[in-house]
Chains A and B, each alone.
Chain A
Amino acid sequence: SQQGEEDPQALSIQEGENATMNCSYKTSINNLQWYRQNSGRGLVHLILIRSNEREKHSGRLRVTLDTSKKSSSLLITASRAADTASYFCATRIIQGAQKLVFGQGTRLTINP
C-alpha cells in the first residue's frame, strides 16, 4: 500500500482563494517532499521538509510537518489558474530501500 495518503483526492476552488492539501504517512521518515504534476507530465519539485523541521515556506507555498501525527499539509495562498495540477507528497523512509514513496495525489482545479 502507499506510504502516503492524501486528502482530499480532488479540490476545486476559485482563483485567489487558498488551497490546503494534507498528506498522512505510516512509517518514520527522513524527509517529506511535495511535487506538482501538470496533466500527465513530469513532476516538479516544490518543497522539501526534513523530519526535524515543523514548517517551511517558499513563495506562496507553506508546508507543515507533524511527525507525531505522521502528517503534513501544503498550503497554496492566493491561488492562480496556473496552479491547476496534481500535487503529490513523497516520503523518504528511513528503514528499507532508499526510495521516494508517493501518495496518490490531490487533483487541484483553480476556477477563474
Chain B
Amino acid sequence: KAGVTQTPRYLIKTRGQQVTLSCSPISGHRSVSWYQQTPGQGLQFLFEYFSETQRNKGNFPGRFSGRQFSNSRSEMNVSTLELGDSALYLCASSLTQPVYQETQYFGPGTRLLVL
C-alpha cells in the first residue's frame, strides 16, 4: 500500500496570504490528523477528521481550518499567514475510530516558510 502523501512538500508564502495543504491517507484509512512542528513548540495537534467530520481540535486560532472529503483525503487551510506559522505540517492517518486505539501513520510533511 502507498503511504500517506502530502502536497506540496515545500511552500513559501508571505505574511497575510493564505495556504492550503493536502493530505491523502493510506487507502482504507478514514481518520486523518494534522500536526504542526516547530523548533520552539515541538509537535502540536491541530485537528482530527473522521468520515468528513472534525472530531477533535487543538488549541490553535480560527485561522487554521480543515476539511475531509468523502474519499478521506483532507486539506488544511491557514488564512492570514503570520511569520510564526512557519513550520513543518504533518498529516497522519489511521484505520478506525476510536483513534486512540490505533497507530498513526505519518506523511513526509509540508514545510511552510512564511516571509
Tell me how many residues of B have a C-beta within 8 Å of chain A. Answer: 27
A36-76: which have CB < 8 Å to B? 40-45, 48
Inter-chain CA distance A100–B90, complex, in Å, is 13
Closest to A99 in B: B45
Main secondary structure of the interface of A (DSSP, over half): strand
Closest to B100 in A: A92
> Size range of the interface on A?
20 to 34
Main secondary structure of the interface of B (DSSP, over half): strand
Q: What is the distance, in angstroms, from A8's C-beta to the closest C-beta of chain B? A: 16
Contacting residue for A102 out of B42, B48, B88, B107, CB 8 A: B42
**Which A residues have a C-beta under 8 Å from some C-beta of B?**
2, 30-31, 33, 35, 40-45, 48, 88, 90, 92, 97-105
Q: What is the distance, in angstroms, from B105's C-beta to the closest C-beta of chain A? A: 7
